[in-house]
Chains A and B, each alone.
Chain A
Amino acid sequence: MLPTSEKKKWMYENMLVSRFFEEAMETIYMEGKTPVFNMAEGPIPGEMHLSNGQEPCAVGVCAHLKPSDVVTATHRPHHQAIAKGVDLKLMAAEIFGKKTGLSGGRGGHMHIFDADVNFACSGIIAQGLGPAVGAALSKQMKGDDSVAVAFLGEGAVNQGAFHESLNLAAVWKLPVIFVIEDNSWGISVSKADSTAVKHNAVRAQAYNMPGRFIADNDPIALYDVAGIAIEDARAGKGPTLIEVETTRLAGHFMGDAEGYRPDGELDRLKSKDPIVRMKNLLIDEGVITDDENLQITQKAQKLVDEAIEFARESDYPEPAEALDKVFV
């Protein structure tokens, strides 16, 4: 299932927005945190997990989704949220802890919730799989052709919730797609040191569902495979597991000294930056011209700038609002 030129452009645009957003996060996060790095300080406190390099995983899948499809995401959620269509301004405001944020500042960067496009994420590894299975069950019971997608890191595959959820999804033939973003690191622990199989896609066999492997962070190949998986799910043929070989171009979180990375790894990964490769592909294929690229780039940057401005200018919640929304 190959993407049309329009879809390719959509994917590229979303990758750019995502990258520019992370670049903004990177800069703003450090405000108030130099010369002494203290996580509590600055306009964006707390942990910050950036998705630089992992953009293909999000766009290759979300290009097939509609608002009623459900996405559960990870602690590294920005690229996934952007590709699912989460409102960028409201998301930025949430990350700044502002009253205008998606959750009025109660959630923060690891807890992006957007009911309008059925997006949620979590700071607990593999926690999103259960809810994705449940959303798929709900769609199946209602006879709706919507699907659910659970994104996870390769480290999450070693949690019980992964195995239990895959089995349940397969037994009940649920319309759910599990997408592993394999960046080969779980904080400082490499996949090789933590995972008994080379490719997690093979785990699909244990649960009697298709397992697909996408090499080399390739958004076009992922678009193809995800398209088939989602079409199958909509047609009642059950779940699919997709493993995407991707790259984490930043630290695990901001402030990570990354002493565990082998020498030269980061340079090697950066030389294969998916944004640059996507741009080159689109220009080589004649999907966009250099001029159009400039326009797309400027538009993406503007979207991000406006979102950041909105977040900065918004007010903080009243302190006592902390007590609201425990129950509806």
Chain B
Amino acid sequence: MENERKLTIARSMAEATAQEMRRDENVFVMGEDIGQLGGVYGNTRGLIEEFGSKRIRDTPISETAFIGAAVGAAQDGMRPVVELMFVDFFGVCFDAIYNLMAKNIYFSGGKFKVPMVLMTSGGGGYSDGGQHSQVLYGTFAHLPGMKVVCPSNAYDAKGLMATAIRDDNPVVYMYHKSLQGMGWLGTEQGATVHTPEEEYTIPFGEAKIVKEGSDVTIVGVGLGVHNGLKAAKLLEEKGVNAEVVDLRTLVPLDRDTVFNSVKKTGHLIVVDEDYQSYGLTGEIIATIAERDITALKASPQRVAYPDIPIPFSRPMERFALPNPEKIVNAYAKMKEQ
């Protein structure tokens, strides 16, 4: 493509944040190692050089304090962007997130605004063990009061970040380590795409059909979208034309796009790197079942993480993670019924 400007998700997140910081002096960033280091996952790189340490603040390892502080600052008119380095660390600060950040708008009868973004990394596949590999989409999406964003590529990552920062509600921005474009994590190439330099926003609650098809709908988010696309290629070799839906935001959830796709294809596979039970896969299937179960011509399938803590050892972790082959097998299983 001419004038193509390929960015990694890390760079597009930093670019959107910088543009929002130029637009609005109330936007600031805080978190661990987000200053000079530019974030462990590169998403604040270059910001301290432009905006200085007053607006790009390295914090102590005190998540309860600085996420709680972000809520207080947001309620006082600032627009903090805070980083929880790994989503797994939510355990030490979840009160500030779900009992505070997510509820104060409601408790105040809508009189308080909480315009903050909590960005956090997730995802495994590189043997980082059970406290550094989770995605926890379902945990965050389950609790009312916070929007949840999960970009699968740099173009979406930039527009969704701009929307998140401009939103007067708390937004949890969950990025996937394998999509970040940090070489040391081995990156999914499909996430590094053309990203215009100018500012733009992407509305929440609009899923994207990233590949059109007629035989089966594969629904996913983040890395799951790339697994879905790869599975669609494999299925194509078998003469099956899959449609792949990237949800892009879990809250709000674009149920219409998913439903319309399933109505067209009659078949549904939901892909999720989160623990299977009580999560995204069940929610999507329930959406279809509730709305019109006759849209389904076969039992829907899910390809998700088994209900186990994430193992360190490579063969065990690979066994547990979703992958394109598992999606293809899920399709075969669905057709056998």
Contact = CB atoms under 8 A, between A and B. Distances in A.
Interface of A: 36-41, 45-47, 94, 97-98, 101, 104-111, 122-127, 155-156, 158-161, 186-189, 193-195, 255, 259-260, 316-323, 326
Nearest to B91: A124
B201 interface: no
Contacts of B32: 186-187, 189
Given A40-B127, A45-B126, A108 B92 contact: no
B317 interface: yes
A193 B131 contact: no
B33 A187 contact: yes
Interface in B103-133: 125-132
Interface in B87-101: 88-89, 91-92
A319 B307 CA distance: 15
Given A38-B186, A160-B92, A187-B40, A111 B129 contact: yes
A160 B129 contact: no
Contact of B316 (A127, A259, A260, A321): A321
A302 to B, nearest CB: 27
A108 B62 contact: no
A187 B129 contact: no
Contacts of B129: 46-47, 107-111, 123
A187 B37 contact: yes
Contacts of A126: 61, 92
Contact of A159 (B92, B125, B308): B92
B255 interface: no
A110 B183 contact: no
B185 A38 contact: yes
B276 interface: no
A46 B60 contact: no
Contact of B309 (A41, A159, A326): A326
Interface of B: 32-33, 35-37, 40, 58-62, 64-65, 88-89, 91-92, 125-132, 183-186, 306-309, 311-320
Contacts of B317: 322
Given A47-B132, A159-B92, A39 B126 contact: yes
B313 A317 contact: yes
A318 B316 CA distance: 7
6 contacts: A45-B126, A46-B129, A107-B130, A127-B92, A189-B32, A319-B316
Given A105-B312, A187-B33, A319-B319, A40 B186 contact: yes
Given A46-B128, A188-B36, A189-B58, A108 B184 contact: no
Given A194-B60, A316-B313, A322 B40 contact: no
Given A124-B89, A260-B37, A105 B316 contact: yes
A187 B306 CA distance: 32
Contacts of A322: 306, 308, 311, 316-317, 319-320
Nearest to A191: B60
Given A101-B313, A188-B33, 5 more contacts: A39-B184, A46-B127, A97-B315, A159-B62, A189-B60
Contact of A158 (B36, B60, B318): B60
Nearest to B58: A189
A41 B320 CA distance: 18
Contacts of A158: 60-62, 65
Nearest to A188: B37
B217 to A, nearest CB: 29
Given A107-B312, A316-B315, A322-B316, A156 B61 contact: yes
Nearest to B64: A160
A225 to B, nearest CB: 26
Contacts of A260: 36-37
Nearest to A255: B184
Contacts of B37: 187-188, 259-260
A302 B59 CA distance: 43
B253 to A, nearest CB: 29
The 7 closest A-B pairs by CB, nearest first: A108-B312, A105-B313, A97-B313, A319-B319, A45-B127, A40-B126, A322-B316
A303 B309 CA distance: 32
Given A37-B183, A39-B184, A46-B129, A326 B308 contact: yes
Interface centre among A106, A155, A318 (most CB of B within 10 A): A106
A195 B60 contact: yes
Nearest to A98: B313
B314 A189 contact: no
Contacts of A97: 127, 312-316
B318 to A, nearest CB: 7
A185 to B, nearest CB: 11
A39 B320 CA distance: 19
Contacts of A189: 32-33, 35, 58-60
A124 B92 contact: yes
A194 B66 CA distance: 12
A48 to B, nearest CB: 10
A124 B84 CA distance: 12
Contact of A318 (B35, B58, B126, B315): B315
B232 to A, nearest CB: 24
A40 B132 contact: no
A316 B37 CA distance: 36
A323 B314 contact: no
Nearest to A111: B129
Interface centre among A41, A105, A316 (most CB of B within 10 A): A105
A37 B182 CA distance: 10
A323 B276 CA distance: 13
Given A40-B126, A97-B127, A259 B36 contact: yes
Contacts of B92: 124-127, 159-161
Contacts of A255: 184
Contacts of B33: 187-189
